[in-house]
Amino acid sequence: MDRRALIVTYYFPPLGGGGVQRMAKLVKYASRKGWEFTVITADEPTGFINEDPSLADEVPASTKIIRVPFKVLSATPTRFSAFFKTSGFLKRLLSAFVYIPDSRKGWLSKAWPVIARELQGGQYDLVLVSIPPYSLSFLVSEIERRFDLPVILDMRDPWTLNPYKIYPTPLHRFIDQRMEREVISRIHFGISAYGRMLKVYRKTVPGFNPSNWLVIPNGFDEEDFDELSLPKEDSGTFDIAFSGTIYSHINHPTPLFKALALARKLNPQEAKKIRFVFVGKSHINLEKLIAKFGLQEQIILHEYLPHKESLSVLNKANALCFILDDRETRSAYTVGGKVYEYLAFRKPILGLAPEEGEAADLIRRTDAGIIISPQKSKQIADTILNWSKGNIPEFSFISIDEYQRKRQADRFLSFFEKVMANGPLYSRLDKPSQVK
């Protein structure tokens, strides 16, 4: 018998980016197993996230998509808007000061009538709510209370443990942590992209039941790698590629650029061969930083590209790189979604990240590269020079296939069946509503 699920996710194609793909790829592959989906998502006029129509083309025609319009109220004073436009960090800082847990929580009041109407009019087996935005988690208890349906919370990013999340003051962090504990304590079933986060919940969230949670990491879609542009011919250069978004903190490229500049001092002739290839979006002035380190001749910059075009750029690189600042303790609880796609290339990965953490666990478990603290410039420079000379360890890339989106969709569906097998678990207790 066919199953039917309602997915509530703020970000969905035609928006692009790694976070969008988790739900889009689930719908793509689960639909092939007889599942039908309705997706309620936001329609926000924003330049923050680029569009990628190619991802929308992968969503099955049978999927019902309901877009709920919303415009984020700016926390930036109009008279200073030009100034804040030039500083992404300051704009995010001000937004974080005004909105807890996030600036999209106003969408809930617009989305809730749509969600309620859809659940009243359709026969659904379960509901899946994907966060961030973290405010969407408020919907879980409300749907359970009103409709007595099983609801699963999918956390594709950590909440307060997310190193990209900015806290203007300790009070903001305290309020957000309290909110997180309260919400998670109410969750009957959940899926997390990261295992270390669940270990923290076991210690900090009253009544947390890890047996009702499942870890499903992010991954890669093997079909995306069909018919990619061929790898580059040997041009005498050694290209290290980085894809995604560069922020003004957490993944700032200074550690890599500093190591590249040091490599030029250690071995000028060999270092000339090394190039850094970036494809994506940057919230910092990359050209200025490149000039600071004198790397103009060694850097190749691409704007944001549609997903498959981005993969084609990576396919021509000799090695792949990601950065997580280990001076921020929360960096140990995340892995950039692009890293899973790096695995699919089976190219050596240079992870400048905490030497103990979620990212390090992944790279070591798959034997796909090395992890070096971003603070160890000499070790990074030596590694890059050795790799450019061809002295690359024979990484074995163990169990890469388990990160295929197709297999992960099967794990989602198995968990769905487990949840539904428990029957109507939820008594209609008069829980206070968090949806305003």
* Residue 27, both tokens: 């719908």
pLDDT for the residue numbered 112: 97
Which domains, ranges and CATH numbers included, belong to the chain?
3-219+405-421 (3.40.50.2000), 227-388 (3.40.50.2000)
Tens of pLDDT, residues 303-343:
889 888 999 999 999 999 999 999 999 999 999 889 999 99
Residue 208 has pLDDT above 90, yes or no: yes
Residue 263 has pLDDT above 90, yes or no: yes
CB 352 within 8 A of CB 372: yes
Tens of pLDDT, residues 23-63:
999 999 999 999 999 999 999 876 567 788 889 999 999 99
pTM of the model: 0.90
Tens of pLDDT, residues 85-115:
444 556 666 776 667 899 899 999 999 999 9
How far is the C-alpha of 174 from the C-alpha of 100, rounded, in Å?
11
Report percent pLDDT > 70 for the chain: 89
Q: Please indicate whether residue 78 or residue 158 has the higher confidence score (pLDDT).
A: 158
Residue 277 has pLDDT above 70, yes or no: yes
pLDDT for the residue numbered 121: 85
Closest by Cα among 298, 293, 296, 339 to 320: 339
Which three-class secondary structure string do you get for 364-417? HHHCCEEEECCCCHHHHHHHHHHHHCCCCCCCCCCCHHHHEHHHHHHHHHHHHH
DSSP assignment, residue 118? Answer: H
**First-to-last CA distance in the chain?**
36
Tens of pLDDT, residues 380-393:
999 999 999 999 99
pLDDT for the residue numbered 178: 96
Tens of pLDDT, residues 216-259:
999 999 999 987 877 766 778 999 999 999 988 899 999 999 99
DSSP 79-90: GGHHHHHT-HHH
Q: Mean pLDDT of all residues in the chain?
A: 90
Mean pLDDT of 260-274: 95
Tens of pLDDT, residues 133-155:
999 999 999 999 999 899 999 99
How far is the C-alpha of 313 from the C-alpha of 142, rounded, in Å?
44
DSSP assignment, residue 8? Answer: E
Tens of pLDDT, residues 8-18:
999 999 998 88
Closest by Cα among 164, 159, 167, 170 to 136: 159
| Secondary structure element (H or E) that encloses residue 2, with its range | none
Task: Give me the residues paired with residue 191 across strands.
Answer: 154, 214
Mean pLDDT of 5-10: 98
How far is the C-alpha of 204 from the C-alpha of 345, rounded, in Å?
38
Task: Give me the residues paired with residue 409 across strands.
Answer: none
Residue 432 has pLDDT above 50, yes or no: no
DSSP assignment, residue 302? Answer: E
